[in-house]
Structure 1
Amino acid sequence: MPTLEDWQHWTLVMGRAQQMLMEFWAGQMKAGQPMPQFGTTPSAFGFGEQAPGGDPMALMTAGAQAWAKGLETWGKMLGGVTAAPESQKKDRRFAAPEWSENPIFGTIKNSYLQISDQLLGTVDQIENIDADMREKLRFATRSFVDAMSPSNFALTNPQVLKRTLDTRGENLLKGLANMLKDIASGQLTQTKQGVFEVGRNLATTPGKVVKQTPLYQLIQYTPTTDEVLKTPVVIFPPWINRFYILDLSPEKSFVKWCVDQGISLFMVSWKSADESIADARLEDYVLKGQVDAIDTVRELLGVEGVHAIGYCVAGTTLAATLAYLQAQKRAEKVKSATFFTAQVDFTEAGDLKLFTGPETMGLLEQLTKEKGYLDGRYMAATFNLLRGRDLIWSYVVNNYLLGDEPAPFDLLHWNSDTTNLPAGWHRDYLETLYKGNKLAEKGGIKVAGTPVDIDTVKTPAYIQAGREDHIAPPQSVWKIMDHFAGPKRFLLAGSGHIAGVVNPPAAQKYQYWVNEKSSATLETFVAGATEHKGSWWPDWLAWLKKQDPATVKADGARVPGKGKLKAIEDAPGSYVRSR
């Protein structure tokens, strides 16, 4: 039987939780937010609407047994899953030894995994639905089974139960405080706060902002070699995220590595959308963004053309830019184009294509009606949903149930550093490109009244895809090979949309595949490809030098602020810090 002291302690815990909730709701009501309608504490913490009425361990064990009974019932409904065999899958959610050593939790885990497999398997068995509907159903089912994992609930996670008993509920109070803080900020915390700062330990490669427009800042980096490649490189990062994914800590920085290899490097830092650029469209990002930046660098350095890099959505726009320049008979402005995980043909665009239905477009209309731009936190939430198990539920367990702080991680700091998007352009991007696939059509898109056709692009292209990329799947990135008419080199990198790109040679991680023979399909490419260990960056550099090996002295206009364009401020500039 619990002692009087136990009763008093758990009553105090529940009282503190209630006080925290009431103070939070009072603050929300002052800000004009409605008061949520649920019990004394969130049900995810396992106490329902009243304080525990007995031995905490007995209550928790009863909850786990009830869950096991519920899974047994589900199993019978799905065809007789009553005693699942021990799962052979490696699953980080169930890595703690209690999931295997305790028979109750072992049953919960194995039953859940087998039922999840059965639910996902039924998606392929449903008849008379089209491919798009099947993919939507598969995504929804996967999201459901991930959300319903027993590891996500206090009463069915043995680690949380142990922590709760060891700390006498303090973990739940800390977790509740973490949750309320995230609700107030509108964003899930994925990395320890206050560790990283742009300009201090992120985006620290020396350089200067040499141009600023309403749409972007242009950063020129300081050379570290006596000579540099004559043809400069201009990087166009995705405006959905901050540019410093390519300039994280120095040992991970693609920017620093390029500069150290003797490249005259420029970076576009897009402005996070506000009312001043709410009306920006594709044409603006092509003409006032990419073409303007290319012409600026050409004039500054006195060169005929540049090497351009487009990452993700900026690569999509770069394809439109190249087609526009080709139509204008000015293709020489870009000597080569490199595409990091970029798509131009969206027939196999992956899970993001699921967010182009009328319900999504209607929500976007509501969210952007007042200010004309989309709060970047909504896009961050969408990307988190694509990998909910890793980017949502693992933090629910760590932050809210265990009451821990997430570990410091520069990549997740960047992931949480959101940018706002012009509403019209974002809507057009989803409807015109993802849904309508107009860029793949001859004349499907016009730039300044000029119909563009990506099939006419003759610019030499280097096309990188990530083998496990869930945002730009390799089969979708490959389609650039089917459209561009010029010389092309395709490379398949290990890992996904971010780690597949940000893979410095010193790390000795992952691998990449190339096939020197002509391949008609991705399958043919993979079948004949040679695997190479480590980073693909040196392969790209060798290819780049073949396009133009000439070098010049790293002086004069090659030094930021020493040419016609004077330094405005130090890199990484102010646009990357704006919210």
Structure 2
Amino acid sequence: MNILSDIPPSEQRREASTWQGGARPRYPEASVEHAHVDLALNAALGRLTGYVSPAALAGAWHDWATHLLLSPAKQLELGVQAMNNMQRWLQYSTSAMFGTPAEPVQPLAQDKRFNDPLWHAWPWNQLSQGFLLTQQWWHRATTDVRGVSSHHGDVVTFIARQLLDGVAPSNFIATNPVVQQVTLASGGQNLLHGMARAGTDMRRALAGTSAPASLRPGRDVAITPGKVVMENHLVELLRYDPVTPQVHAVPLLIVPAWIMKYYILDLSPHNSLVRYLVEHGHTVYMISWKNPQADDRDLSLDDYRRHGIMESLDMVVRESGAPQINACGYCLGGTLLAIAAAAMARDGDERLASMTLLAAQVDFTEPGELSLFIDESQVSFLEAVMWQQGYLDTRQMAGAFQLLRSNDLIWSRRLRHYLLDIPDKDNDLASWNADATRMPYRMHSQYLRNLFLQNSLASSRYLVNGRPVALTDIHIPILAVGTMTDHVAPWRSVYKIIPLSDTSVTFLLTSGGHNAGVVSPPGTPNRSYQMSAHEHDAPYVDPDTWQAETRVREGSWWPAWEHWLARLAGPWVAPPPQGRSVRDAPGHYVLEP
């Protein structure tokens, strides 16, 4: 099926001959013939380096090492610090041997490796303190070196942290008292079980597969009743069945990220945001994205906008009879929804009543630690890998996210999984996380270049149908949700929708991370949120001041959002008649491997 078949010929020519901003296309197929050799070499190298550009790492290291060489004062400071750390460790070790250890170095709050009481006894406390002092010294060595670019400094600091995490005493049997105690208690059974798990994981890695999701969509998760009411080459549109005698007149369209399967928002019934909304009288439509294959390599970011959001919007308006709808976008889906909303506002399309952005960025100048993997060198290297296979596969994306939290997602997991005989937790969120998706070569390349590298949306240079769009054209109410410990879309970055828009923006900050912070139903323990509205003509308040001055409310943020949404969802009416359907929810696309 040709996804471009319904585009006018003039638009097809422009699509084929231009890139955002008018530059020549970066498709390797359009390059000179010998470029294919370079791309094949880079793609093969990527499989050996975990898809991280060696040129990017070498450039960062050279920048740091050269400027450190030219900074004798910094060298002297580090030398003095090394001597002080050694003296402090020797003093601590001596006192620890006699049972009166000096004040220890405290790990970071999120570092749980040395929490067990066994680590507080000699000689294990001596080992942990030596590691923490070394970690502290390397952090100082890789930061605040005069002349080093901030990006290169962050990369070097990150790599140093990865190397240190790999040699932490908690990773080895001989230096981990907790593992030794478990081994003695189990007679070594923990190590036998760990070896079996390691063998299984190794076979999967060599075969290029991952552990299957334990919970199946349509059987265990994604079971909110509904119908697929539209299908094209890129999406299935799901409409959920009403469960209340009356519903709000204005329906809700949810645009999930295509980097994840949609049922993050429809997990087990107690964790389903979709079910919660339906039970509160909202008519909910959900986009389910196709999991792209190699022959989808030429799908563009604008294909996702037109054939994903716009065709779904057309269907929702046509089927419901509502002149306007509310729309909600999660992560990349929220970014794409903002692009679509800006284009609609520019073109006089008034079918959106409101827009909710869940952990979604529109400004990418501060995208968090993901920026470590995004510069010209790294994107070009990644393009070579995607060019060869036609998409960015799940292992490449999972590897990047795991590196961002290597202590939790790599080393601590291996400690639990292989040495302590603690299996992974089996729950709906963990199962969904294992059910990853791919991204087409062309679309992902455009996304990285146009949004991350060029930040064209925030600077009003992003082109839709050959013309730029501006977020300031959006005048519908906006609610933006940030999550406190989000490493994918940091909440201060999400907050930037306020100065970039010209409308009323309600900002909501909730506890938790990118996924667990969003999946936060009422009754979830230890949850809280902050929320306030910012009118378009009010003075700007920076995010840190906003956080300090906004009241913290205990509990889930879902009721607060539903209350905001209900005010924009119109009067109560009888449920609309159920129109045609293609098949039952959850549809076919979500089941594709």
Normalising by structure 2, we get a TM-score of 0.79
Cα gap change, 1:259 to 1:336, in 2 (>3 Å): same
- Counterpart AA for 2:592: S
Cα separation, 2, equivalents of 1:118 and 1:523 = 29
Residue ranges of structure 2 left out of the alignment (5+ in a row): 1-47, 49-80, 93-102
**2:370 maps to which residue?**
352
**2:512 maps to which residue?**
495
Cα separation, 2, equivalents of 1:401 and 1:530 = 44
1:440 aligns with 2:458: yes
Q: Secondary structure at the match of 1:186?
A: helix
Q: Secondary structure at the match of 1:462?
A: strand
Deviation at 1:462, TM superposition (A): 0.5
Q: Contact 1:215–1:289 at 8 Å: present in 2 too?
A: yes
Q: Contact 2:119–2:177 at 8 Å: present in 1 too?
A: yes
* Counterpart pick for 1:527 among 542, 548, 569: 548
**2:570 maps to which residue?**
549
1:379 aligns with 2:397: yes
Q: Contact 2:343–2:469 at 8 Å: present in 1 too?
A: yes
**2:158 maps to which residue?**
139
Cα gap change, 1:409 to 1:145, in 2 (>3 Å): farther
**Residue deviations 1:151-207, cap 9 Å, x none?**
112221122223344445443333233223223323999x99674222222111111
**1:420 maps to which residue?**
438
Cα separation, 2, equivalents of 1:303 and 1:427 = 36
**1:97 maps to which residue?**
117
Q: Secondary structure at the match of 1:280?
A: coil
Q: Contact 2:85–2:133 at 8 Å: present in 1 too?
A: no
Q: Contact 1:192–1:405 at 8 Å: present in 2 too?
A: no
Q: Contact 1:305–1:333 at 8 Å: present in 2 too?
A: yes
Deviation at 1:524, TM superposition (A): 2.9
RMSD between aligned residues = 2.4
**1:242 maps to which residue?**
261
Deviation at 1:81, TM superposition (A): 4.4
1:343 aligns with 2:364: no
Cα separation, 2, equivalents of 1:546 and 1:180 = 55
After TM superposition, the structure 1 stretch with the greater mean CA deviation from structure 2, 236-245 or 165-174, is 165-174
Cα separation, 1, equivalents of 2:82 and 2:272 = 49
Q: Contact 2:213–2:431 at 8 Å: present in 1 too?
A: no
Q: Secondary structure at the match of 1:266?
A: strand
Q: Secondary structure at the match of 1:209?
A: strand
**1:570 maps to which residue?**
584
Cα gap change, 1:379 to 1:111, in 2 (>3 Å): same
**Residue deviations 1:313-341, cap 9 Å, x none?**
111111110111112110x1111000001
Deviation at 1:371, TM superposition (A): 3.1
- Counterpart AA for 2:552: E
**2:99 maps to which residue?**
none
Q: Secondary structure at the match of 2:530?
A: strand
Deviation at 1:138, TM superposition (A): 2.6
* Counterpart pick for 1:536 among 538, 557, 575: 557
**Residue deviations 1:83-114, cap 9 Å, x none?**
3443445642223332123x111111122122
Cα separation, 2, equivalents of 1:112 and 1:382 = 25
* Counterpart pick for 1:450 among 444, 460, 467: 467
Cα separation, 2, equivalents of 1:128 and 1:286 = 41
Cα separation, 2, equivalents of 1:316 and 1:409 = 28
* Counterpart pick for 1:302 among 290, 303, 321: 321
- Counterpart AA for 1:119: W
Q: Contact 1:187–1:377 at 8 Å: present in 2 too?
A: no
**1:322 maps to which residue?**
341
Q: Contact 2:529–2:554 at 8 Å: present in 1 too?
A: yes
**1:197 maps to which residue?**
216
**1:82 maps to which residue?**
89
Cα separation, 2, equivalents of 1:524 and 1:209 = 45
Q: Contact 1:353–1:435 at 8 Å: present in 2 too?
A: no
* Counterpart pick for 1:162 among 157, 181, 184: 181
After TM superposition, the structure 1 stretch with the greater mean CA deviation from structure 2, 362-371 or 238-247, is 362-371
Alignment of 1:22-421 (within 5 A): 80-83=87-90, 84=92, 85-89=103-107, 91-101=111-121, 103-186=122-205, 195-330=214-349, 332-421=350-439
Cα separation, 1, equivalents of 2:286 and 2:526 = 26
- Counterpart AA for 1:515: S
**1:480 maps to which residue?**
497
Q: Contact 1:215–1:277 at 8 Å: present in 2 too?
A: no
Deviation at 1:364, TM superposition (A): 1.8
Q: Contact 2:290–2:589 at 8 Å: present in 1 too?
A: yes
Cα separation, 1, equivalents of 2:380 and 2:388 = 14
State how many pairs are aligned.
496
Cα gap change, 1:548 to 1:221, in 2 (>3 Å): closer
Q: Among the aligned pairs, what percent are the same residue? A: 34
**2:486 maps to which residue?**
469
**Residue deviations 1:437-483, cap 9 Å, x none?**
011122x1212223211221112111111122111111111111111
Cα gap change, 1:192 to 1:511, in 2 (>3 Å): farther
Deviation at 1:516, TM superposition (A): 4.7
Deviation at 1:77, TM superposition (A): 9.2
Cα separation, 1, equivalents of 2:211 and 2:185 = 24
Q: Contact 1:75–1:82 at 8 Å: present in 2 too?
A: no
**Residue deviations 1:355-412, cap 9 Å, x none?**
1134422442342233311112211111111111111111111122234422213212
Deviation at 1:248, TM superposition (A): 1.2
Cα separation, 1, equivalents of 2:436 and 2:491 = 25
Cα separation, 2, equivalents of 1:188 and 1:306 = 45
Q: Contact 1:192–1:406 at 8 Å: present in 2 too?
A: no
Cα separation, 1, equivalents of 2:443 and 2:430 = 26
Deviation at 1:414, TM superposition (A): 1.3
Q: Contact 2:327–2:355 at 8 Å: present in 1 too?
A: yes
Cα separation, 2, equivalents of 1:252 and 1:482 = 33
Cα separation, 2, equivalents of 1:147 and 1:328 = 53
Cα gap change, 1:187 to 1:252, in 2 (>3 Å): farther
Cα separation, 1, equivalents of 2:317 and 2:213 = 39
Cα separation, 1, equivalents of 2:566 and 2:559 = 11
Cα separation, 2, equivalents of 1:555 and 1:178 = 52
Q: Secondary structure at the match of 2:389?
A: coil
- Counterpart AA for 1:424: R
Q: Secondary structure at the match of 1:214?
A: coil
